[in-house]
Amino acid sequence: MGEKLVKEIKIRNKKSSFLYEFLEKFEAGIQLRGTEIKSIRLGKASIKEGYCAFKNDELFVYNIDITPYENASFANHESKRPRKLLLHKKEIEKLVKKKRDVGLTIIPTLLFINENGYAKLNIALAKGKKTADKRESLKEKDAKRQMDRAKKV
């Protein structure tokens, strides 16, 4: 009777798997302020243009757009402010070491609410794909689509 129906929130960065090859994935907490969690629960966020960078040995995510909450008063949040990511110290050290390699970047792949009600961000250490790799990804995707159609018939 006291249970509330929770809609599953999963905000994806669909373009990231096309543009990047994922080398390693991590799940990070995200430090939010005030009404940001309410906007995320309504699904009003976008991680398409997001990227991660280190500042004073802490990992921050930039360019994630969390729309200001409509029912908030004067205490609303900025939509594209930098947000601190919460990782274990060993994970941060590992990312710092790997980030030193040229051509690697850290990008957000999925923003979701876990079973405890906390906002989590899946991030990936990624390497940019070459044009030929992108074409190969498109061919694989097209072949999979054709096989799925054949199975339905």
pLDDT in tens, 91-103: 998 888 888 877 7
Structurally, the chain folds into a number of domains equal to: 1
Mean pLDDT calculated for residue range 121-139 = 86
Confidence of residue 85 (pLDDT cuts 50, 70, 90): very high
Domain assignment present for residue 2? The answer is no
- CATH number of the domain residue 65 falls in: 2.40.280.10
Q: What pLDDT, on a 0 to 100 scale, did the predictor assign at position 61?
A: 93
Distance (Å, whole) CA 8 – CA 18: 24
Q: Is residue 136 part of a domain?
A: yes
Q: Is 1 within the bounds of a domain?
A: no
DSSP sequence for 107-148: EEEEEEE-TTS-EEEEEEEEEEPPHHHHHHHHHHHHHHHHHH
Q: Residue 67 belongs to what domain range? A: 10-152
The verdict on residue 130 lying in a domain is yes
Per-residue pLDDT, 84: 93
Average pLDDT over residues 129-153: 85
When pLDDT is cut at 50, 70 and 90, the band that residue 7 belongs to is: low
Q: Is position 65 within any domain?
A: yes
